[in-house]
Amino acid sequence: MSDIGDWFKSIPFITRYWFASSIAVPLIGKLGLISPAHLVLWPEAFFHKFQIWRPITSTFYFPVGPGTGFLYMVNLYFLYQYSSRLETGAFDGRPADYVYMLLFNWICIVITGLMMDMQLLMIPLIMSVLYVWAQMNRDMIVSFWFGTRFKACYLPWVILGFNYIIGGSVVNELIGNLVGHLYFFLMFKYPMDLGGRSFLSTPETLYRWFPNRRGGVSGFGVPPTRRRDPQEPAGGGGGRHNWGQGFRLGED
């Protein structure tokens, strides 16, 4: 038990609470402490009965049973692996920026879920984070089931097919990939590669709640660097954040 406790404490702060919530909420529903019907996202209950907790609980809840247990465990593993790598890699020392990414992805997924009458949002949010990690490590060679190896940029689509085979829904994975692509495009590709304006900026309130820190654990992921104008002095300027450089610890 002490080993489990030490392992749990070693999980990065934000991922730790997300991971724990994704275990606790399904367990509450499984034990019948709260009816699963009150944990899923129902547009009618949300809009007309003002049950505003549903977008939150539906993000953590998953109906664990004989036919869904393996799918749940696989996605829980993806949550732990790729959220940890993002939090200790590209977002190392910047928890506010990581929380902002999660909030942006979550809001997009909730809106999509309400429009498409989706009851469970756990898999889409996990896949959106995995997609962002894959784009930041797109040329890294990763290993998957049965020893298959390919570039990380293909990982979200391989997982989409894999989850479909083991009983998941392509819609969940596809929405997660599209939301992750939207964040990555608006945060990095459009302002840095295409020279457009930056639409996403972490609110100062989040920096007060989750202040930047130094001396974190280096991990996976290097955000794209902005193309510098030839007339712009070295070192950048204009108030843009310096993302810095990461380095790879090894293969997946």
Q: How far apart are CA 82 and CA 98, in angstroms?
A: 13
List of the chain residues with pLDDT < 50: 216-219, 227-252
- Angle value at C-alpha 200, between 196 and 203, nearest 5 degrees: 145
Which sequence spans correspond to the domains of the chain? Answer: 6-193
**pLDDT for res 118:** 92
Give 149's strand partners.
143
DSSP helix/strand/coil, 53: coil
Find the Cα–Cα–Cα–Cα dihedral 100, 15, 222, 127, rounded to 10°: -80
Helix H or strand E segment including 149: strand 149-151
pLDDT (tens digit per residue) in 188-236: 888 776 766 778 889 999 999 999 987 544 445 556 655 444 444 433 3
Does the pTM surpass 0.75? The reply is yes
**pLDDT for res 238:** 37
**pLDDT for res 241:** 40
Considering only CA atoms, which of 39, 41, 19, 114 is closest in space to residue 7? 19
**pLDDT for res 154:** 92
Which CATH number does 6-193 carry? 1.20.1540.10
